[in-house]
């Protein structure tokens, strides 16, 4: 049983490796099933294994960043 859903977010204020680690750790802590990929250069965060884009955006926002959910 796999979950193929991948959610994508643009996070313009994720600008360096520290941001990447902070966001990755926060999402993985909130959603143990999450597989997080974050890239500072493209300001892109993708999350597999979680269905709820709003909840993920909330976790990223709670760390002080500004996520925009992408289609």
Query: Residue numbers of the site for Cu ion (CB under 5 A)?
Result: 15-16, 18-19
* 49 phi and psi angles, rounded to 5 deg: 90, 5
Nearer residue to Cu ion within complex by CB, 16 or 68? 16
Nearer residue to Cu ion within complex by CB, 44 or 49? 44
Nearer residue to Cu ion within complex by CB, 18 or 55? 18
Nearest-approach distance from CB 46 to Cu ion, in angstroms: 18
Name which of 29, 22, 33 is nearest 64 in CA terms. Answer: 22
Q: Determine the straight-line distance between the first and last CA of the chain, rounded to whole angstroms.
A: 24
> Is 5 in contact with 50 (CB distance < 8 Å)?
yes
Nearest-approach distance from CB 8 to Cu ion, in angstroms: 19
């Amino acid at each position: 049983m796999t979950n193929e859903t991948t959610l994508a977010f643009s996070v313009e204020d994720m600008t360096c490796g520290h941001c990447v680690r902070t966001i990755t750790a926060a999402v993985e802590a909130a959603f143990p099933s999450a597989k997080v990929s974050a890239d500072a250069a493209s300001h892109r965060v993708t999350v597999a294994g979680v269905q709820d884009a709003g909840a993920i955006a909330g976790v990223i926002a709670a760390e002080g960043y500004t996520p925009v959910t992408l289609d």
